[in-house]
Structure 1
Amino acid sequence: MLTFYLLFGILYWGMFSRLRKLWEGRKNLGRNFIQKENPQVSILVPFRNEAQNLPAIFNGIFSLQYRPLQVLFIDDHSEDEGRKYLTALIDKPGCEDIEIEILKSKGIGKKMAVRTGVERAFGDIILTTDADCFLPNDWVENKLKGFSDPMVMMVAGPVISQKSKGFFSVFQQIEWSSIILITKVGFELQAPLMCSAANMAYRKKAFEEVGGYNGNLDQLSGDDEFLLKKISKRFGVGSVRFVTDNLVMTMPHATWRSLFSQRIRWSSKWRSHLSLIHMAASILPVLIQLIFISSVCLLWKGHIGMILFLILWTTKILAERKVLGKVLETYGIKFSIWSYVLTGIVHPFYVLVSAIGGIFGNFEWKGRKSSNMA
């Protein structure tokens, strides 16, 4: 038993060292791309019960440097005053080179909302984001750099929660850094596993050629990952790209319950991918965290067991600080060692609860229950 945990600690350190090398590997492609003419761009913003967030995303879109733009807000059957507020914002004087419409989704769920937007979009390149996001001013230009190669059909980018007060905010940003890391590593290894629709772009013709979300419409989540897999399979892994320095920020969760609900929704997709690689990538993190939790048994193995327990958890925290800290520093975010200590202790239990929730697949999101989408 002692030998097992010792070897596991060594492997964990080695794994994170490898992840850091992959993070620091190939830089963004298309960085030196010079736009000869402005392609037509459509931005899709599906929303449901987002009245409090719509003014910020609306103003953020008007702050984008790229012109002209078509912006489509697609209402996924909201139950609040969001559509009313948005209509009032659109009626205000604005730029003539931004065409804004509010559409009613033709079906239930985010995928149907996006499909409604795609059908209306006139842009060759479609960008998607969420109503609770904050966009950099050069968001569109950086996305278009990824399409400098005509073979590229989709460009994904990083997302992270905004900073707020307290440990809960810190925990979310560190966890998001692990998501960003694994996302880029998947692309680097030419086996993309995930991406976020909050910061994503694709050619309209690619969406149409793969049939959009046909075959996945019964899933409440996964509008990003399912499309990524379809495009990658149809056009090859070289057709999808991850641009590291095009960061989109999202609102942090206000409560642990809300955070767990989202993560359970994400993890519930594991059955639907029908991919051994994706299944392994879903199961491995859970097994790793279970090993860390089970290491508590070392405390009953005398002084040697206690020392090994401390070494194992110290290795865990230092490895995570070294690598996840590097990811966060890319975006100008720094935390003390104690932030990584607390996150490193809480995270294994957080992953386990999310995984159990994902197995049973029962969750509620924006007033909808997963059982109602089956």
Structure 2
Amino acid sequence: MFFVLLIPALLLIVYCGIIVLYTKWFRRLKLFTGIASEDSCFFSVIIPARDEEANIANCLLSILNNHYDKNLLEIIVIDDHSTDNTAKIITGLQQQHDCIRLIAMKDLVSPEEKINSYKKLAIQKAIALSKGDWIITTDADCMVPGNWLKNFNAFIRETNAVFVAAPVRFINSGSFLSIFQCLDFLSLQGITAASVSAGFHSMCNGANLCYKKSVFLEVDGFKGFEHLASGDDMFLMRKIQKQYPDRTRYIFSQDSIVSTLPMPTVKTFINQRIRWASKADSYDDKKVIAVLFVVYFFNLGFLFLLIAGCFNPLYFVWLLVFMAVKIAFEMNFMRYVCRFFGQEAILKYFPLMQPFHIAYTLISGWLGKFGTYQWKGRQVN
């Protein structure tokens, strides 16, 4: 039995050590509260949108309601072949707000052109047509806070950053699936805040990113990974981090948190996570790959113990012991993360979600490597 438990036990020790590091880094983060005396950065906010008639108006209005000089703002929405009223809604808002621009992908892309990542292409086309010195990306189903732009402006001026990763949270609707996604996403966001601020990982989320346009052009944008369906955020961050290691930062501010909707169904949730996992073996950040390796095989260890328990019930006991240790270390980390993101109320569900989280980690990780998935009505390789 000792040798059967040896590898899972070693993985448990390494995994818990990683969580302790993330907790330490997260706890030492200091809230950014600086507000620049004047608006000075010209921001081009870029929003790719495909069939987002239910969300795009709220997204645009939340940006327009920011306390920022509208002469230093343009909002570029790239309509990615929508089949609903997305373009019509944007056009209606354009008539009231001069800073909104609508670009149709169908006018920029040949029907014969083979594309695996429409989102990266949409962002790149929009950047080429943008007027701002700074690019901000978000998603069409996001809502931004009132000081979102002011915070980016102040942070850039104070830190001299050229790339700024920023926090994102899911909106909890109260359903099991919603709570599960909120907790899962909070853990990813907590790791992002901790590891980026510590200079350990290059992690971010394209729903809330800001970078200097000239730097994007300097590193040749998405060149080198434009064929990958995902990665408009982390791969770009990695390229810029190599050029500017001390100017790639994370803004730790509750006034900078962008809120977005979780996936409405299990199918769309799994497809989203497979899309995220599909880029894992393309990272050149060895520390990210090492952590992903530990996490995947640590979770695989639970499946191994479950199978072993069918032959010897004592393995079920060890499975529960390992699970309890895992939960204890993660809960300690998550309570700080949930507090920052204002979602402490759902932390009580965290232990109950563990079996589902392990199963989904194994499934999405496997399919991300060997499977295909659908995203926005398209089959992706």
* TM, length-normalised to structure 1: 0.90
1:83 has 2:70 as partner? no
In structure 1, the gaps of 5 or more residues are: none
Deviation track 1:309-356 (CA, whole Å, cap 9, x = no partner) reads 332211222222221122011122123665112211211110011011
Distance 1:147 1:356, change over 3 A: same
Kindly tell me: are residues 134 and 20 of structure 1, through their superposed partners in 2, closer, same or farther at Cα, counting changes over 3 Å? Answer: same
Change (3 A) 1:312 1:49: same
Secondary structure of the residue that 1:271 maps to in structure 2? Answer: helix
Structure 2 unaligned residues grouped into runs of 5+: 110-114
The answer to whether structure 1 residue 70 and structure 2 residue 74 are counterparts is yes
TM superposition outliers: structure 1 runs of 4+ over 6 Å: none
Report whether the alignment pairs 1:315 with 2:325: yes
Q: Tell me how far 1:36 sits from its aligned partner.
A: 4.4
1:58 maps to which of 57, 60, 85:
60
| 1:248 and 2:255 correspond | no
SS in 2 for 1:101: strand
C-alpha distance in 2 between matches for 1:308 and 1:202: 47
Paired letter, 1:57: C
Aligned to 2:19: 16
Q: 1 CA distance for matches of 2:146 and 2:104? A: 28
Equivalent position of 1:188 in the other structure: 197
Q: In the alignment, is the contact (CA less than 8 A) between 2:34 and 2:151 conserved in 1?
A: no
How many Å apart are 1:19 and its aligned residue? 1.6
Q: Is the 8 A contact 2:170 2:260 kept in 1?
A: yes
Q: CA RMSD in A?
A: 2.3
> Quick one: distance in 2 between partners of 1:21 and 1:300?
38
SS for the counterpart of 2:246 is: helix
Secondary structure at the counterpart of residue 136 of structure 2: strand
Q: CA deviation at 1:292?
A: 2.4
Q: In 2, Cα distance between the equivalents of 1:233 and 1:361?
A: 31
| Mapped contact 1:265–1:361 kept (Cα < 8 A) | no
Q: Secondary structure at the match of 2:161?
A: coil
- Asked if the contact 2:43–2:135 (Cα under 8 Å) also holds between the matched residues in 1, the reply is yes
Mapping for residues 19-58 of structure 1, pairs under 5 Å: 19-27=22-30, 31-32=33-34, 34-58=36-60
Checking the alignment, whether the CA contact within 8 Å between 1:53 and 1:132 is kept in structure 2 is yes
Take 1:303 and 1:46, find their aligned partners in 2: how far apart are those partners? 52
1:126 aligns with 2:129: no
Query: Against the structure 1 CA distance between its residues 203 and 6, is the aligned structure 2 distance closer, same or farther, given a 3 Å change threshold?
Result: closer
| Number of the residue aligned with 2:267 | 257
Structure 2 match to 1:154: 163
**SS where residue 50 of structure 1 aligns?**
coil
- Cα separation, 1, equivalents of 2:326 and 2:206: 31
2:171 matches 1:169 = no
**Aligned twin of 1:334:** 344
The answer for the alignment partner of 1:215 in structure 2 is 224
CA deviation after TM superposition for structure 1 residue 271, in Å? 2.9
In 1, Cα distance between equivalents of 2:157 and 2:150: 11
Instruction: Report the alpha carbon displacement of residue 208 of structure 1 after superposing the two structures with TM.
Output: 0.9
**What's the CA shift string for 1:262-293, capped at 9, x where partnerless?**
11111111232344333323322211111123
Bigger Cα displacement from structure 2, 283-292 vs 133-142? 283-292
1:179 counterpart residue number = 188
1: CA distance, partners of 2:284 / 2:41 = 36
Query: C-alpha distance in 2, partners of 1:59/1:174?
Result: 28
Q: Larger deviation: 149-158 or 353-362?
A: 149-158
Equivalent in the alignment of 1:363: 373
Query: Residue type of the partner of 1:152?
Result: A
CA distance change for structure 1 residues 361 and 234 in 2, over 3 Å: closer, same or farther? farther
TM-score of the superposed pair, with normalisation by structure 2: 0.88
Q: 1:368 to 1:306 in 2, by over 3 A?
A: closer
Q: CA deviation at 1:80?
A: 2.2
Equivalent pair of 1:253/1:259 in contact (CA under 8 Å): yes
Task: State whether residues 298 and 309 of structure 1, in contact with CA within 8 Å, keep that contact through their aligned partners in structure 2.
Answer: no
CA distance in 2 between counterparts of 1:302 and 1:335 reads 38
Pick closer, same or farther for the CA change 1:133–1:124 going to 2, 3 Å: same
> Cα deviations across residues 160-182 of structure 1 (Å, max 9, x unaligned)?
11011222111111101111122
Residue 134 of structure 2 contacts residue 213 of structure 2 at CA under 8 Å; is this kept in 1? Answer: yes
How far 1:50 moved relative to its partner? 1.2
User: In structure 2, how many angstroms separate the alpha carbons of the residues matched to 1:39 and 1:308?
Assistant: 56
